Amino acid sequence: MRKPLLAIAAAAALVTSGAGAALAVGPDDRVGVSGTDLKTDEIGRSANVKHLANIAPSGVLAQGVGTDLAFQDDKAFVGNYDGFSIIDIRNPKKPKTIVQVSCPGSQNDISVSGDLLYLSTDSSRSDDSCASTSQSATIKESWEGIKIFDISDVKNPKYIKSVETACGSHTHTLVPGKGKNNKTDYLYVSSYSPRDTFPDCKTPHDLISIVKVDTKNPTSAAVIATPNLFPDGGNPGGPGPTPIASRSATTGCHDITALPHKDLAAGACMGDGIIMDIEDPEKPRVIERVRDDENFAFWHSATFNADASKVIFTDELGGGGAATCNAAIGPNRGANAIYDISKYGRLDFKSYYKIDRHQGPTENCVAHNGSIIPVAGRDLMVQSWYQGGVSIWDFTDSENPEELGYFERGPLPEGAGTGGTWSTYYYNGHMYSSDIARGFDVLKWVDPSTKKIDKQVMDELNVQSQPKYKVR
């Protein structure tokens, strides 16, 4: 039984004013040095990547885990296992924290839409408030799902609504309703790992949850559909491609990326990769499905190129906590897979891409979140690899991808555990990175090909809802 939204006083998040300021970035970066040649927390980068600023973890989020990013006008919104922060990026060399909001709940995947901010909770909590504590999912009254905040006053975000979803919300994808006067947001909620002992997350779980939000009346938000994407049960799983992890059975999706202007979405669904027709956003329909039982362990995320002629799927081998960027694992596992998309929506595998900068045995490293860089005539992407850092790469030739630039830190101090960059996205001329342990970084890729697009100004970006980019 869903626990009702608590009274505003009880549900209110702890909001604090800006607690972090940009640190001066020194001249001691090791240009051309990477991987195992870097010492603890040393910075290595290619000559064409500049490290402009860093905001270290602080305040109520100091002990949390940095997660995903969204953007609106001159602000970055940064998820954290303990809540989220809003950062002023008007001057990318001197970003400033506007506010921090304490609202614990893994992973706090984040998106923004006008005056609304959406936050995913994928850890079983005692209730739906921002003062909740961990509580077993075997208890019926436990809560997890979507939280909605009013950010019309960015200095004072207000928690206004919760929506419980089956198995919580590991990630969510914003799919805007149609029409010039659209007043509807749809959230495609991805969740997985059901158990028969969980009252609100029982097997089978071959579905996603769709939350419909009236943006003029967001407190009426509710789950309006739970479409079954895998009527046959999906990939049954099995022995893994490496000893690190077994091949995942499909019990839901991990992440979905929508391409609204093409009425398409790509789903990374544990053991399967799918393409969906989302012409009717309330009734998504799977039109293509692929598997890679030889090399993929866990289908994690997806990214279209600008004209939807290609899609990149990532394999999060080891769940993000393992050291997979080494010779033993090789170049095809824990990697990206590049697929061409035919005019009929069929997927044709072309090649793998993985950073060849080998990392040390304590450095968790695997393909993770990134976004395209919309340069005319080319397919470029910037991407996070946890402690493998940031990679800028070219997949114009689908069969021969290549790295163009990088930024990374040396290993965390001994015993510090998991770290590295969770997400890195291109937005209005710069690249912004959310590092699990080291905070918020601003990077600049200096390349002649970006001169035109660097001058473009977007007013909002949720990477998992890819816009119709103006490629130049």
d(CA 129, CA 405): 43
Q: Render pLDDT for 119-161 as a digit per residue (tens, 0 to 9).
A: 999 999 999 999 999 999 999 999 999 999 999 999 999 999 9
d(CA 258, CA 176): 10
Q: Render pLDDT for 317-365 as a digit per residue (tens, 0 to 9).
A: 999 999 999 999 999 999 999 999 998 889 999 999 999 999 999 999 9
Residue 190 lies in a domain: no
Residue 239 lies in a domain: yes
Residue 63 lies in a domain: no
Tally the domains of the chain: 1
Whether the predicted pLDDT of 254 surpasses 90 = yes
Whether the predicted pLDDT of 300 surpasses 90 = yes
What is the pTM (predicted TM-score) of this model? 0.95
- DSSP readout, 399-463? TS-EEEEEEEE-PPPTT--S-SEEEEEEETTEEEEEETTTEEEEEEE--GGGTTGGG---SEE-T
Residue 86 lies in a domain: no
User: To the nearest whole percent, how much of the chain has pLDDT over 90?
Assistant: 88
Query: Residue 454 is part of a domain; what is its CATH number?
Result: 2.130.10
Whether the predicted pLDDT of 10 surpasses 50 = no
For residue 23, the model assigns a pLDDT of 64
Residue 250 lies in a domain: yes
Whether the predicted pLDDT of 1 surpasses 50 = no
Residue 41 lies in a domain: yes
Share the mean pLDDT of the chain.
94
d(CA 186, CA 193): 23
- Specify whether the CB–CB gap between 219 and 160 falls below 8 A: yes
Residue 237 lies in a domain: yes
For residue 283, the model assigns a pLDDT of 98
- Residue 447 lies in domain: 33-55+229-472
d(CA 213, CA 5): 16
Whether the predicted pLDDT of 3 surpasses 70 = no
Residue 74 lies in a domain: no
Confidence of residue 25 (pLDDT cuts 50, 70, 90): low
**One-letter identity of residue 54:** N
What is the rounded end-to-end Cα distance, in angstroms, of the chain? 52
Which run of H or E residues covers position 8? helix 8-11
Write the DSSP symbol of residue 10: H
Q: Render pLDDT for 28-63 as a digit per residue (tens, 0 to 9).
A: 789 999 999 999 999 999 999 999 999 999 999 999
Confidence of residue 374 (pLDDT cuts 50, 70, 90): very high
Over its C-alpha atoms, the chain yields an Rg (Å, rounded) of: 21
Query: Strands 43-45, 402-409: parallel, antiparallel or unpaired by DSSP?
Result: antiparallel
